[in-house]
């Protein structure tokens, strides 16, 4: 089973580099790099959700067709996972076995009313600092900020200009939500994801803020592994009956 992982705004695939050693070998962690960062740093950034999904889908379509897989995304990555899954369904190819999402409200809620990507750099970085999770050293390094701010603002533009459309129907597979109780998301923000599945909907809360995934990765991966095993058992029973 493959687990394709999508990062938060400003992040790269490297965010998930340690996950492979923390989960059972029956699951392969595949961090997905999007344009403009990490190993794809020299490529042009995608400044809207449509072009970003085009890029990701084109690069992963063959793997989706050939392999059983699950999708995970944190914050901006959660919306990338949702819109990517909608694209996969539109194309009529193999769907993911289940979704794992964290750190983001359901897409029909969209709480981005501040339009952060249009703020001046100083005001913008203060908002980012208040979220936590970004190394303090970065804010003191002018050269790094000159590289990082355009990437981060671009990602916020992707989120803040994203146009939501109601899905024709709910997904026919489970959705699991991970949440940091000290994050700004409300219970309604989290439970609203339940409308996107006709199957099981599970939530798990952790004692952390927006970037709780760095402190609770092992606990999350244990749940992902256990739920993937549950899927294997259910599939076996269907095949043998």
pLDDT on residue 231: 56
Give the tens place of pLDDT for each residue, 189-234.
999 999 999 999 999 999 999 999 999 999 999 999 999 886 555 5
Decide if 137 is inside a domain: no
Q: What CA–CA distances, in Å, run from 87 to 55, 94, 145, 188?
A: 12, 11, 34, 26
Q: What CA–CA distances, in Å, run from 209 to 53, 104, 135?
A: 28, 12, 15
Q: How confident is the model at residue 131 (pLDDT cuts 50, 70, 90)?
A: confident
Our count of domains for the chain comes to: 1
Give the tens place of pLDDT for each residue, 59-116.
999 999 999 999 999 999 999 999 999 999 999 999 999 999 999 999 998 765 667 7
Tell me the two tokens of residue 55.
């890029």
Per-position DSSP letters for 65-81, written without gaps between them:
HHS-EEEEEETHHHHHH
Decide if 77 is inside a domain: yes
Decide if 123 is inside a domain: no
Nearest to 150 by CA among 44, 50, 77: 44
Average pLDDT (167-187) is 94
Nearest to 76 by CA among 114, 107, 37: 107
Q: What average pLDDT does the structure give for the chain?
A: 89
Which residue range forms the structural domain that includes residue 203?
Answer: 2-110+166-240
What CATH code is carried by the domain that includes residue 95? Answer: 3.40.50.1820
SS3 201: strand
Decide if 149 is inside a domain: no
Decide if 152 is inside a domain: no
Tell me the two tokens of residue 114.
């501040």
Decide if 181 is inside a domain: yes
Decide if 133 is inside a domain: no
pLDDT on residue 133: 59
Decide if 67 is inside a domain: yes
């Amino acid at each position: 089973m493959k687990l394709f992982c999508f990062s938060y705004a400003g992040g790269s695939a490297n965010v998930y580099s340690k996950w492979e050693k923390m989960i059972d070998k029956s699951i392969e962690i595949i961090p997905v790099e999007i344009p403009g960062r990490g190993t794809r740093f020299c490529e042009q950034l995608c400044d809207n959700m449509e072009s970003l999904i085009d890029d990701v889908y084109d690069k992963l379509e063959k793997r989706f067709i050939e392999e059983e897989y699950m999708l995970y995304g944190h914050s901006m990555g959660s919306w990338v996972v949702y819109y990517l899954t909608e694209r996969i369904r539109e194309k009529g190819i193999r769907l993911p076995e289940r979704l794992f999402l964290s750190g983001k409200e359901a897409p029909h809620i969209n709480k981005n009313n501040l339009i952060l990507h249009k703020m001046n750099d100083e005001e913008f970085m203060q908002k980012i600092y208040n979220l936590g999770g970004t190394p303090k050293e970065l804010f003191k390094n002018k050269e790094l900020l000159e590289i990082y701010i355009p990437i981060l603002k671009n990602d916020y533009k992707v989120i803040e200009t994203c146009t939501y459309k109601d899905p024709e129907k709910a997904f026919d597979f489970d959705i699991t939500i991970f949440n940091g109780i000290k994050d700004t998301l409300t219970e309604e923000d989290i439970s609203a994801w339940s409308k996107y599945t006709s199957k099981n909907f599970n939530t798990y809360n952790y004692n952390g803020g927006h970037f709780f995934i760095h402190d609770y990765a092992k606990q999350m991966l244990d749940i992902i592994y256990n739920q993937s095993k549950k899927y294997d058992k259910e599939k076996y029973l269907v095949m043998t009956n």
